[in-house]
Structure 1
């Protein structure tokens, strides 16, 4: 993933700061800033921007470092963290609000950019994005320079069920653009996206043509489509397009690749133009909305809870009635196996697992634990395997809380597993161990639902933290306000917030997860630790204790 390497290096530098017993300017701060600036330069961020960031951070933290009170080391570290976070946000936030399409009226959007940057694919993704939000969308193909451009538009638009306009015979892109926009305005389309030919700043004739198209269709917003791998050329190219087309927004494509990606950041600073979307894959739904605060928070391993909730809200639009049932079940902590399966399928539809975990605070590296040395694809294959096992369950088993698979003693306490487990394993071609893993995963989610749902659950606290705006807390710099922190303290079990903070600083992810799930250690609470889960293939934890399965 683009910028993933930058994120790892920034996190590594900040972790060293957390471990430092004493914070001083010459040793700790200068060393930290050297690592951060080197990471940014290696990611192709413009050298002037990096120098400015270093200077601004030092200016912000200098008063705190001059204090002789050694009892304020934690406070100094927090100030440095905040300064670095805020300056990184400043790099990608020009402070300009982009145009937002309005319903009930035509909104003309024109896409420009270099050849091969993915304009045509991005135009279709953009149409799909707005179509999901209730807009009547269409695409006009005004690219007559590239062979097969109209065929590509026709194929992708047909697949997305989006109306399109173009011509095999007309060679004048200005005429095609004007006719297409006029036609769709007459038919009362709300979002009209005009795709243009790719052009380079040295191609003066094509730049003049771009100006003519812009004059003919009078777009409400012109978007520069920028490849994440453009590197140091981003500043010069973006300036040339800004001077000619005066674009009002940027979409960065191919963010799922292995490019350095810092050039896009440089383009934002050079043109004072906001990024509005990131292309994160080849599929039509792989277009993520961009917001500076959550983007930097995610880059620093702090997650993007609000972004994750928005993504899940988009999924909920597909079946609102079923989503209401799921929400109620989640809040009550009464998830059936069918509910678990649907949630897993939703997760699978949200994209790579690493993308999802990166939005959860402190869990950016969780994929390494899930897939070991494997990849996103291998982890997804494993999850699909578990989901397929549920296809061999009866409707009654799917709608149960999993207790149908339990042997109960006279006091109705589970003492083992029933023959249903063996039947499901045989029917799905899986092992008993794999069926047991499905049951454990379901139980884990049910326990998390119980901890987080309801009026006094953690979900309400997290919603409160994001209530001041997308990805923003009520405090300065987008961080939680004192009132929000107190609300979280009240909603969490006693001491849990402090434990999570300490574990996150020490990198104890397994311990943090175990506490979040309700277990304090091996054999305690509702959840076993990860070692216990792996070392005991035929035992798993149910709410009332640790169970062993008799294989006989």
Structure 2
């Protein structure tokens, strides 16, 4: 996985400090160059990379000669804190409540894998004993309802949609209300893919949101679009209150670092990643814990 590869590269750069007898400005610059290169290769937004470098430099006083001062640890800690800022917006993720209806609304660009992700998300919760269902409010893409129907039937997940109703707001509202009455706990609403330049589709997305009043609006991002995600994520955030981010197609692309731009733009945590086409190739993600694990296992033990 590209983000794990990124973690290894950064860990390797930080570990090299432990074998450096003297920490100088040149050593710090070389370290930050290696880290910046790793981040840029992973397609992390260059503005964020430059800001990280400046913040680390500001936090470190190379000329401080205080007795017992461990400059290696100071630098490692400063880098860790800045990396954590990239992946942790400081906003708690939405946690569904058992015994009540939790409405999830998925939004994103065309082709982001949103409809497939809806089924994967429903399957994830169903396997953990939540009463889960799907609502297809995508009336824009031909075959969207058939796709939901086929996927949900195969996974044995109840679903709602219509071949005759063309208004996604009506479908979304009726589907959510139907499943609420039937006591479902996780109600996942699929919406049409849209682009920031499509004003009418964005207005439609807002109307669907107002109708179903989702507890958790999830922005679905295709990892392959890299930094281009930032402007799109901002546009979605301006229309609806995005609570979470899911990254799809992360198994085959080197641009996964662009996902970090989504976190920065939406101020929302990345909670799941799609790692393949199968329904169970879907993982809970804790980027902050990933960093902490690399810190604990690969740096602090040296």
Residues 2 and 228 in structure 1, CA contact (< 8 A), matched pair in contact too: no
What is the aligned partner in structure 1 of residue 107 from structure 2? 112
Residue by residue, what CA displacement relative to the aligned partner does 1:231-288 show, whole Å, maximum 9, x if unpaired?
1211100000000122111111112112321211012112212211122222222222
Q: 1:66 aligns with which of 64, 67, 71?
A: 64
Residue by residue, what CA displacement relative to the aligned partner does 1:157-206 show, whole Å, maximum 9, x if unpaired?
12222111111222221111111111101111111000011100011111
Structure 2 distance, partners of 1:227, 1:158, is 25
Query: Where do residues 265-304 of structure 1 align in structure 2 (5 Å cutoff)?
Result: 265-298=260-293, 301-302=294-295
Residue by residue, what CA displacement relative to the aligned partner does 1:279-337 show, whole Å, maximum 9, x if unpaired?
22222222222223212235xx447xxxxxxxxxxxxxxxxxxxxxxxxxxxxxxxxxx
The alignment partner of 1:79 has SS state of helix
Residue by residue, what CA displacement relative to the aligned partner does 1:97-126 show, whole Å, maximum 9, x if unpaired?
122111111111100000111111111111
Structure 1, 215-224 or 289-298: larger mean CA deviation: 289-298
Q: Give the Å deviation of 1:54.
A: 1.1
Residue by residue, what CA displacement relative to the aligned partner does 1:49-105 show, whole Å, maximum 9, x if unpaired?
112211221222327x51265x75xx3212222221121111111111122111111
The reply on whether 1:176 has 2:175 as its aligned counterpart is no
What is the aligned partner in structure 1 of residue 206 from structure 2? 211
What is the aligned partner in structure 2 of residue 21 from structure 1? 21
What is the aligned partner in structure 2 of residue 42 from structure 1? 41
Q: Give the Å deviation of 1:7.
A: 3.0
Structure 1 distance, partners of 2:153, 2:77, is 47
Residues 223 and 253 in structure 2, CA contact (< 8 A), matched pair in contact too: no
| Unaligned 5+ runs, structure 2 | none
The reply on whether 1:76 has 2:74 as its aligned counterpart is no
The alignment partner of 2:242 has SS state of coil
Q: Give the Å deviation of 1:137.
A: 0.5
Q: Give the Å deviation of 1:5.
A: 4.2
The alignment partner of 1:256 has SS state of coil
Structure 2 distance, partners of 1:136, 1:101, is 12
TM-score by length of 2: 0.93
Larger radius of gyration: 1
What is the aligned partner in structure 1 of residue 142 from structure 2? 147
Structure with the bigger RCO (C-alpha within 8 Å, sep 6+) is 2
Structure 1 distance, partners of 2:99, 2:15, is 50
Residues 233 and 266 in structure 2, CA contact (< 8 A), matched pair in contact too: yes
Structure 1 distance, partners of 2:12, 2:263, is 26
The reply on whether 1:100 has 2:95 as its aligned counterpart is yes
Structure 2 distance, partners of 1:21, 1:68, is 16
Residues 108 and 193 in structure 2, CA contact (< 8 A), matched pair in contact too: yes
| Unaligned 5+ runs, structure 1 | 304-360, 363-478, 481-500, 506-552
Q: Which has the higher helix share?
A: 1
Residues 242 and 266 in structure 2, CA contact (< 8 A), matched pair in contact too: no
What is the aligned partner in structure 2 of residue 474 from structure 1? none
The alignment partner of 2:2 has SS state of coil
TM-score by length of 1: 0.52
Q: Give the Å deviation of 1:47.
A: 2.1
Q: Give the Å deviation of 1:41.
A: 2.1
What is the aligned partner in structure 1 of residue 240 from structure 2? 245
**Structure-2 change in CA distance of 1:302 and 1:256 (3 Å):** farther
Query: Where do residues 451-466 of structure 1 align in structure 2 (5 Å cutoff)?
Result: none
Aligned residues: 302
Structure 1 distance, partners of 2:289, 2:18, is 22
The alignment partner of 2:224 has SS state of coil
Structure 1 distance, partners of 2:237, 2:100, is 26
Structure 1 distance, partners of 2:269, 2:3, is 18
The alignment partner of 1:242 has SS state of helix
